[in-house]
Each structure stands twice: as structure tokens, then as C-alpha cells.
Structure 1
Amino acid sequence: MGRNLRIVHCFRSPVGGIFRHVRDLAQAQSAEGHLVGIICDSSTGGDYEDRLFEQIADTLALGAHRTPMQRHVGPGDVTAAYRTYSLIKQLQPDILHGHGAKGGVYSRLFGSLLRVSRSRVARLYSPHGGSLHYDANTMTGKLIFAAERVMDRFTDHLFFVSGYEERVFREKIGPPRAPSSLVYNGLGEAEFIPVTPESGAAHFLYIGMMRDLKGPDIFIDALARSEKSTGRELTAVMVGDGDDLPAYREQVTRLGLGGRVTFRPPMPARQAFALARAIVVPSRAEAMPYIVLEALAAGLPMIATSVGGIPEIFPAGSPALARPDASEIAARMENLVADPPAWQALMPTTDALKGKFGVDVMARAIEREYFRVLES
């Protein structure tokens, strides 16, 4: 499309959907000849994330740079911000693309500072939910949304990963001054190869961060309700890590599910998919979760909450969707185990998923806006 660009992706935590999105984007951009680098937090992530960095190291011509970044605003932000700015300045990006709340602030603030020194840097922002999850009626929410309105003045382009995310931005922050695009997360061709459940696979899988926002507690309650309603023992695997993990282990024990729920550490999604015959995504809030796309592409029947951008993945009015409520999810669990083939027929087709959520579609749309901003 044009010259090779120096692209730096800045975000805080190298875990979950944001990290997955950046990895996919960085690999696709590198394949197009662009020079790509990453700047993110060094205090989050573990061995699994370290292995993910190793897998993409060869595609990052500008390297992966990790420095401590706090999740919440505090005194340490001054030091963290200075270190991050110094790294960005050294990398001399044409494109500074921030992801999530903190990455968005850093990319727009530091991109603007570089412009003062006559560097031509395009400042782009993908919220990925981030600050949009806050309640606009709380003091914290009001402060954060006020900051977003200020930062909007220093934004060259906004990328939304779902129509839902765009609507929430407009409702809580206001119509963006900067141009914006809806660009869905994308999957690679290999991810559309079906995963076969292993021998002795559990009935249900939960995979994700162990925090209440993602609904592990709802999943456990729903499993217990399903057992009571059907009168049969149901098994589950819960894959992930997080500060709230001990509370979920205690909940499983308290509900008498200890022999039937297995906890496993973080692992590649497709490896986890083989551990169960169906997946439940019980999130209380989402933007456009990769795990839903990955599991559907792998052929898993799914129950998911109708939050964020998830309904944009399914046919309108799909019975596979529920409120983030244990009783609603339990009822769908019961229907799924009663007739798995019928539930599988409710899932989106492979062709529909590829046409809307392919990584090539995502990368081309984002690259097009990069060049448009630089040429404007």
C-alpha cells in the first residue's frame, strides 16, 4: 500500500484479549514489511506469557520492551510514564498505537510530545473495553471519562472492536472528535481447524482470567444448579489464573463440586478446548472477547452471556446467549447436555465467522487507516 512503517503498540498488561490482539496485529504487520515493536508492563504475566513473547520475537523488528506500569493511577505513574516515553522516543515510531486505557493515554500523550519536537507521529487508540467498563455515576467513572474527553483531542483515529464498544463510548464519553472505525478482532486460518475433545473430556470448560468481571463464580453456581436440576453429575475444567482464584476454589468446595471441577493453569486456548465437550463464557462485561471467536472457530458448542460485543458474533436472538445469571446459564447447560448436536446447530457457520472475523480482514482495515492518518 505504501512505505514500510515503524509501528509501536503500547498497552499495559500482556495477558488476555488485548495481548492476543496485539500479537496477531504485530505478526500481520510484520509480514507486510513493517517494523513493529511492543511496549508493555513487566510486572504482570508469567511463564505462559513469556513463552508467547518468545513465539513472536522474530516478528518484532523494534523489539518487545517491558517496564513496570501500574493498573491504577498513583505516584508510581510519574516514573513509569517517564520510562515509557523514553522507550517510545528511542524507537522513533511513525505509528503509536495505544491499546486499553493506560496504553491509550501513553500513546496519545507521548505522541503529542514527540510532535512538539517536530516528529510526525500518528496517534491511534483502541479502547478494548478498558475505561468503558466504569460506571458513569461514580466519581472514579466521572474522572476517567473526563480524562478520555480531554485525550480525544489528541487522537488521530479511534478503533472500536465492536459496535457495542462504540455505542458505550458515545454514551459515556460523547461522540468522538477523531475519525473512528469498527474493526472486529480476527482469527488466523489455522484456528478454524476443529478441535476434537480428548478421551474423558469434561462436560464444560471455563477459560479466562480468574476475576469476578469474567464470571467464574457464575459458572460454578450454574454448574451446581444444573446438577441439582438434572440429577446427574456434571464435570468441568476451569483454566486460568488471577487474584480471585482461591475464592473460586473455596466456592467449588462449599458447593460440593470438588471431585468434579478441575482447576488448571493458563495454557493455549486450543489445548484447553480439548479438555471439554462444550464451553461457557459467563462474563459480566466484555468488548469483543477472543475466546468466543476462538472456541466457535474450533467447533465447540457454546453458552455465552449477552454482554458487550458477544451478540454481534451470533445470529440475532440466538438461544445460546443468556444474561450473566446463574439460573439462566444453568438452564442452557441442561439443554446442551440433553442434546449436544441440536445445540451445535445454533452456532455461527465457519464461512460466516471467516468473512467477518478473519485476521487478514482486521489487519488490512487497520493498515488502511494508518496510511490515511499519515497522509492527512
Structure 2
Amino acid sequence: MSSTPGPSHTRPSLHAVQVLGSGSAGSGAHVRSLAAGLVARGLRVTVCAPRGTGEGYAFAGSGASFAPLPTCADASAVAGIRAASLSADVVHAHGLRSGVLAALALRGRHTPLVVTWHTKVRAQGARAQVVRLMERRAARAAAVLLGASSDLVDRARRRGARDARLAPVAVPAPRPGPPDDDSLRHKARAELGAVARPLLVAVGRLEPGRGYGPLLDAARAWRELDPEPLLIVAGEGPERPWLQHRIETEALPIRLVGRRDDVPELLAAADVAILPSRWEARSLLAQEALHAGVPLVATSVGGVPDLVGDAAELVPYGDPDALSAAVTRLLDDPARRAELVTAGRAQAASWPSEDDTVAHVLSIYDELSQRGA
């Protein structure tokens, strides 16, 4: 973690268990940052997560212990959390499934449970009822439920949470990159096939709710621009075959480049970043784009307006004409892009830091430990 650790915690022996599922990019990075910050303040931290998640986020490198959990067998996962939490002073679960599993694991114990909802699970039909029951179980079991956006806090209260609070999640500050060098940017654009054309970038899992259908609809209009922009979409998921078929059938100026570990570099090469989602809390892409000084066009949903303020062009979800027009206006207006770059960096500087986030979570742990004293 790049921030400077604060003073050691007043109870150095306090043991906090973090429970994480497969982990989106935002929640996984948050737990890695939180674990490192808590260890730096003198806590003993155990992270319970699937083995692949543990390797992907290198929790052992944060100073935390790691307890691998199975990804499919819920009963085995509950047993694993229960065993890892035997000496815990507090258990902190991240995500809906993790919250439910942790609640089951702590049945019969007095260990306080904190649950953070980073996002909401979208479901239809019979599965929607199951999700509601899971939300109710997690919300009612939590001593404190933290929501990454105000609508998640409201949702938790509707599901019966005793104590629901807003807790914006800070992601790690972007790692220092090389000095500005046009040759590096041109090289990256050449590798992507965007030497003499505008480059647009979208990042996210290829799944329903991410807004890729309207995004592809918007891209039809960009075929008429001269030069024609190229849209790069980084991510994998179940919608890839359908998206690829549409791209080829409709001759859309889009490349699906799969999962990438160099998103900061992709953004650094971009003219505009696009976030077309149906709903977001504190979008990782939006944060990375504003940190990187890349103009952002995003849907006005969930926590996005509060997150970006006036530092992005906001459009309604599911309106491809509005999305297409907003991107086209930015490509035609270098002065407006420069305004958004300046506003974006100022907005990013106003967000909670990793230290702020760790301190907030630690104050909740303190509060709960004092309740039980």
C-alpha cells in the first residue's frame, strides 16, 4: 500500500478475518489494501477466499494469513470460515454470498459480523427471490452493514439491516507510471491498431448489465466519422460470443481484447473512456480514468454521479443515441476534453484515500469490540 501507516492499534492482538468470494476487481483490490493497512496498524488479519483469488491479489504479501476456501461447496466454505474465525474478534465479509456464508459460520457465536456490499446482484424470476432471501439473511446477521453507495445502504435497510452505513471504498492509488512520453503512447496505440484514429476504451466483465448492447448500438454511428474511432473492450465473460457475432455481422469498429493486466496503460493511450453499465456503485474504471486524466463518458446510474461529480459526461442508461452523441462531441472538442482532464484529476484528489478507508473500518472494529467488552 502506498500510503503511510498510522500508529499501531490500541489492541495489537485484535484478530480480524476478511471473507471474500471470487472478487470483482474493485472488491479484491479493496480487501488487499484493507488487509495491508490493518496489518500495518498492528492487527492480526486472516483472509478467507478461493485459492485463485488469494493468488491473484497476493494477500500473503500484505502480511495477512491466508485460508483458502472452496469455490462451489458452500458447506465446506462455511466450515473453513468457521475454523479460521475461531479466535476472531471481528469477521468482515465482502459481497452478498460471502456475507451469507459468514453468517452461517458464526451461528452460535458472539463474534460481530461486518458486511460490505460493493455491488448488487441482478437476478430475475425464481433466482430474484433467492437473492432477496440472501440479502435479508446477510443484512439481519450483520452488526454493521457497509454500502459502497447510498442506494446500497437504502437497500440494506429495506432488507432489515440493524445498522447500515455509507462507506465509500477506496481503491489503491494508481502505481507510478513512466514519465509522459508520446512515443510510448504512440507505440501502445500502434499495437492496438489506432495510429491515425481516435481510441476509445471500455473495461469490464462481458455479462448482462454491463451495457454492452447499447454500447454496440452507439458504435454504429461512429462508422460515419472520419477518421473512424476504434473501441477497445477489455474483459471476458459469457456475452463474448454474442458480442463478437454482432461486431462481425454489423462491421462495428470494435475489438474485444479479453482480460488485460495493463488497463492503466490502455487508458493512458485512450482519447475517451466509456462506462455504459446499467448500475455501478464506485466504478473501478471511472476511478482509474479520472486518476489517469482520461475524459470519461458514463451512464448516470447508482453511485456514478456522486463519484465523478462534474468531471465526466453523463448519459442515461440504455440510450445509445445519447451515448454516441456524447462521445462524438468529445472527439470533436479538444478544449472540452482538456476541461474534463483537469476536473477529473481534481475530483480524484477529493476521494477518500486508502488511509481514510482503513481508519474508518478500524473505527468500526473498535466500536464493536467495545460493545462486546
Say whether the fold is shared (TM-score over 0.5).
Answer: yes
Identify the residue that residue 169 of structure 2 maps to in structure 1. Answer: 185
Which of 230-239 and 349-358 deviates more?
A: 349-358
2:255 — aligned with what? Answer: 261
Matched, 1:68 2:63: no
Deviations 1:93-114 (A, max 9, x none): 2221111111111222323334
Q: Which residue in 1 is equivalent to 2:317?
A: 323
Deviation of 1:281 after TM superposition, in Å, equals 0.8
Within-5 A mapping of 1:21-170: 21-42=30-51, 50=55, 52-54=56-58, 56-63=59-66, 65-70=67-72, 76-89=73-86, 92-115=87-110, 121-131=111-121, 133-134=122-123, 138-170=125-157
The count of aligned residue pairs is: 349
Report how far residue 155 of structure 1 moved: 1.4
Tell me the distance in 2 between the aligned counterparts of 1:188 and 1:263: 24
Give 1:69 deviation, angstroms.
2.5
Question: 1:87-137 CA distances to partner (integer Å, 9 max, x unpaired)?
Answer: 443xx322211111111112223233343xxxxx22100111234x346xx
- Counterpart check, 1:287 vs 2:281: yes
Letter in 1 for 2:235: G
Which digits, 9 at most, give the CA deviation of each residue in 1:65-88, with x for residues without a partner? Answer: 332223xxxxx4334433443344
Deviation at 1:221, TM superposition (A): 2.5
SS at match of 1:153: helix
Q: Which amino acid aligns with 1:328?
A: A
Decide which moves more: 187-196 or 248-257.
187-196
Contact 1:236/1:276 (8 A) holds in 2: no
Please, what TM-score do these two structures have when normalized by structure 1?
0.82
Distance in 2 between residues matched to 1:147 and 1:262, nearest whole Å: 34
Distance 1:195 1:209 in 2: 30
Query: In 1, distance between residues paired with 2:338 and 2:152?
Result: 28
Give the partner amino acid of 2:279: A
C-alpha spacing 1:300/1:192, structure 2 compared with 1 (3 Å): farther
- 2:210 aligned residue (214, 226, 229): 214
How far is the alpha carbon of 1:339 from its aligned partner? 1.1
SS of match in other structure, 1:158: strand
In 2, distance between residues paired with 1:60 and 1:248?
Answer: 41
Residue 306 (str. 1) matches residue 315 (str. 2): no
Unaligned residue ranges in structure 1 (runs of 5+): 71-75, 116-120
Contact 2:298–2:314 (CA under 8 A) maintained in structure 1:
yes
Aligned position for 2:357: 362
**Relative to 1, partners in 2 of residues 1:22 and 1:243: Cα closer, same or farther, differing over 3 Å?**
same
1:263-315 Cα offsets, whole Å, 9 max, x none, are 14321431332342221011112222222112111111101111111111132
Gaps of 5+ in 2: 1-8
- From the superposition, tell whether residues 341 and 27 of structure 1 become closer, same or farther in structure 2 (CA, over 3 Å): farther
Preserved CA contact (<8 Å) 1:195 1:299:
no
Instruction: Give the superposition deviation at 1:17.
Output: 1.8
2:236 is paired with a residue whose SS is: coil
Whole-angstrom CA distance in 2 between matches of 1:240 and 1:317: 25
Q: Give percent identity, aligned residues only.
A: 21
Shift of 1:331: 0.9
1:2 counterpart (4, 7, 10): 10
TM-superposed CA distance for 1:252, in Å, is 1.4
Q: Tell me, in whole angstroms, the C-alpha distance in 1 between the residues paired with 2:322 and 2:280.
A: 18
Q: Distance in 2 between matches of 1:316 and 1:233?
A: 28
Seen in structure 2, the aligned counterparts of structure 1 residues 192 and 186 have a Cα distance that, compared at 3 Å, is farther
Over the residues paired in the alignment, what is the CA RMSD in angstroms? 2.8
Distance in 1, matches of 2:347 and 2:269, equals 26
Q: Specify whether residues 77 and 60 from structure 1 end up closer, same or farther in structure 2 by C-alpha distance, changes over 3 A only.
A: same
AA in 1 matched with 2:61: D
